[in-house]
Structure 1
Amino acid sequence: MNPSRPQALGTVMIVDDAPGNLAFLSDALEEAGYRVLVATDGASALEQLRYAQPDAILLDAVMPGLDGFETCRRLKADPGTSLIPVIFMTALSELDDLLRAFEEGAVDYLVKPIRHQEVLARVGSHMAQARLIRRSEDALVRSGFAALAIDGAGGITWLTPAGCRWLQELSGRSSGGTPPANLPPPLAEWSRQRIAVEDTDPHQGTFTAQRDGKRFTARLVPCQDGQEYLLLLQESSGDWNLDSLKSALGLTPREAEILMWIARGKTNKDVGQILGSSPRTINKHLEHIFEKLGVATRAAAVAVALDRMRDAPEAAA
């Protein structure tokens, strides 16, 4: 590798049983500024991945022992490696082979003989996209929001810790166990129906369920790649009866929901992300809330709401 480069562009694993191909690709990638890991078969590649995490994998389809297709399937089945972009390399060019590669989770397919300029271009593009996805997911995890991603069939591909707790509570399972692999049946069916009719406007349609005095809601939005969908999840505790709140204060359902999140310390930006609206829209709703409650600040609005919530049981009695 060129010692003048202060930092590598990333790490690429090459899996190929042909020494000539390994040497050719290693030289091209190292010269371009990448770190390189090599494996001569699928089994040794999977073993290396227990200790190293590359940013992309160049995978030969036809190898002795564990071939590229089965290796890719195992990579995608493991949460620790499922997000690594896999680019197949092979002399096979039949349509069935191409389709099988994508079915196993590959993001791209190169037919030999391979040109190093094409490899560099595709590796760079897929690594950039994977990093963008990881940054987005990391931001959601750090925010504490409950969210998860599903594929077109409704299978869970990724979820935040808060999203895991949301699913466990909705399903009546104890927290701290193995993350659920599938959505609860009612939510799965609702998601499939929304996806089938391409109805993914977050402002239209909300999944709602009740359990143990809590209200669970979910909104569906498409991810940028069009292959996955993001479910934004919310849980309302029983101490916030939104129907009573909107009736007592003369609020719309959306205004009552916004006031609840403001009372929980969320900023306009936070509330906008939770409800699928812009901070500007949330601010306009807050202006209407202030006017209806006769207050001028968020703190005063929350104080009025909390007073009404405390009075509600007495009124009901």
Structure 2
Amino acid sequence: MSPQALREIVLVVDDAPQSLGALCAELEAEGYTVLMAPDGESALQRLELVSPDAILLDALMPGLTGFETCRRVKARPEWAHVPVIFMTGLAETEDIVRGFEAGGVDYVVKPARAAEVLARLATHVRNARAVRQAREAVDVGGLGVLVVDARGRIAWRSPQAQRWLQEAGSADATHWLQGEVASQPLPDGRRLVARRVGEAGLGEALWLLQPPATAAASPDAPASRIASAALTPREKEVLSWVAKGKTNRDVAEILGMSPRTVNKHLEHVFEKLGVETRAAAAALASRGLAGV
């Protein structure tokens, strides 16, 4: 995998792109691929062709406003995961509220400081990736996925998680989703086990639920599978960071190696674990790596 293929894509939507030249240069220097759209309609057309990792969106534009553009993005399931950061001169509280109500995850008032935008962007891209990987893991090994807000309320649940929560009679997760690992008894004597795998957004936490039968009958199965795979210490390090939602580029920077080397380690990990996707490896690691 080439370094170019690992670059995150940012779609910048603004009717005065010339005013954002310095910011776009900073984004490119930071390793992002920047796409531009002069208005909301053009942005939606771009999204038909490419799925960016984030959108920087002006609110006040001719034709579709940024608020309406954001609502249309969030209304499409294939785009809804993309974090939208409003970057606009509208600074009134009512405008900021409109931005969040439309589906934005953040709101930056112009003139925007590049360092601030980069910091916010990196956080939201990382969080969105963690959510996306966990939701992909719904189909891997029969896991369930929960996104829980800061008050312990369930903001999103996968169909499998919904079924298990109904079994446990636990529509509200406040009373038992505590710490890093939590469990809830089921009427038939089994236990529903949940593991916190990271942040999913502003004040939100991401949890993976494992099948109750597996949790009761063979709690060490994931750890045993990883142990029997005979991963090298370096492969375990790479896998542990991937399980935390880190990109190849992130892992490379953390471990002091090239993204290409990280990718090669992951190829070996996939082969040894008998999985084909990053999401499958991450799901397995989140349940078993701590026990190795």
Alignment of 1:1-317 (within 5 A): 9-135=7-133, 140=137, 143-152=140-149, 154-156=154-156, 159=158, 164=159, 166=160, 183=162, 187=166, 190-195=169-174, 197=175, 199-200=177-178, 202-207=181-186, 218-222=192-196, 224-225=198-199, 226-234=203-211, 236=213, 257-259=216-218, 266-268=221-223
Q: Secondary structure at the match of 1:62?
A: coil
Give the C-alpha shift of residue 108 in structure 1. 2.2
Q: Kindly tell me: are residues 106 and 208 of structure 1, through their superposed partners in 2, closer, same or farther at Cα, counting changes over 3 Å?
A: farther
Q: Secondary structure at the match of 1:205?
A: strand
Scaled by the length of structure 1, the TM-score of the pair is: 0.55
Q: Kindly tell me: are residues 200 and 24 of structure 1, through their superposed partners in 2, closer, same or farther at Cα, counting changes over 3 Å?
A: same
Larger Rg: 1
Instruction: Supply the distance in 2 between the matched residues of 1:57 and 1:11 (Cα, whole angstroms).
Output: 9
Is the CA contact 1:217–1:234 (under 8 Å) kept in the aligned structure 2? no
Q: Kindly tell me: are residues 17 and 198 of structure 1, through their superposed partners in 2, closer, same or farther at Cα, counting changes over 3 Å?
A: farther
Instruction: Supply the distance in 1 between the matched residues of 2:187 and 2:147 (Cα, whole angstroms).
Output: 18
For these two proteins, the number of residue pairs brought into alignment is 226
Instruction: Supply the distance in 2 between the matched residues of 1:233 and 1:7 (Cα, whole angstroms).
Output: 33
Provide structure 1 residue ranges, at least 5 long, that are not aligned to the other structure.
Answer: 168-182, 210-214, 238-253, 284-317
Instruction: Supply the distance in 1 between the matched residues of 2:290 and 2:131 (Cα, whole angstroms).
Output: 26
Is the CA contact 2:164–2:192 (under 8 Å) kept in the aligned structure 1? no
Q: Secondary structure at the match of 1:144?
A: coil
Identity among equivalent positions (%) equals: 35
Instruction: Supply the distance in 1 between the matched residues of 2:50 and 2:20 (Cα, whole angstroms).
Output: 18
What code does the residue aligned with 1:68 have?
G
Is the CA contact 1:58–1:89 (under 8 Å) kept in the aligned structure 2? yes
Give the C-alpha shift of residue 151 in structure 1. 4.6
Q: Which has the higher contact order (CA 8 A, sep 6+)?
A: 2
Is the CA contact 1:101–1:109 (under 8 Å) kept in the aligned structure 2? yes
Is the CA contact 1:11–1:54 (under 8 Å) kept in the aligned structure 2? yes
Q: Secondary structure at the match of 2:64?
A: coil
RMSD: 4.1
Q: Secondary structure at the match of 1:92?
A: coil
What code does the residue aligned with 2:37 have?
A
Instruction: Supply the distance in 2 between the matched residues of 1:96 and 1:155 (Cα, whole angstroms).
Output: 24
Give the C-alpha shift of residue 232 in structure 1. 0.8
Q: Kindly tell me: are residues 45 and 279 of structure 1, through their superposed partners in 2, closer, same or farther at Cα, counting changes over 3 Å?
A: closer
Instruction: Supply the distance in 2 between the matched residues of 1:78 and 1:268 (Cα, whole angstroms).
Output: 38
Instruction: Supply the distance in 1 between the matched residues of 2:167 and 2:147 (Cα, whole angstroms).
Output: 10
Is the CA contact 2:167–2:187 (under 8 Å) kept in the aligned structure 1? no
Provide structure 2 residue ranges, at least 5 long, that are not aligned to the other structure.
Answer: 227-282
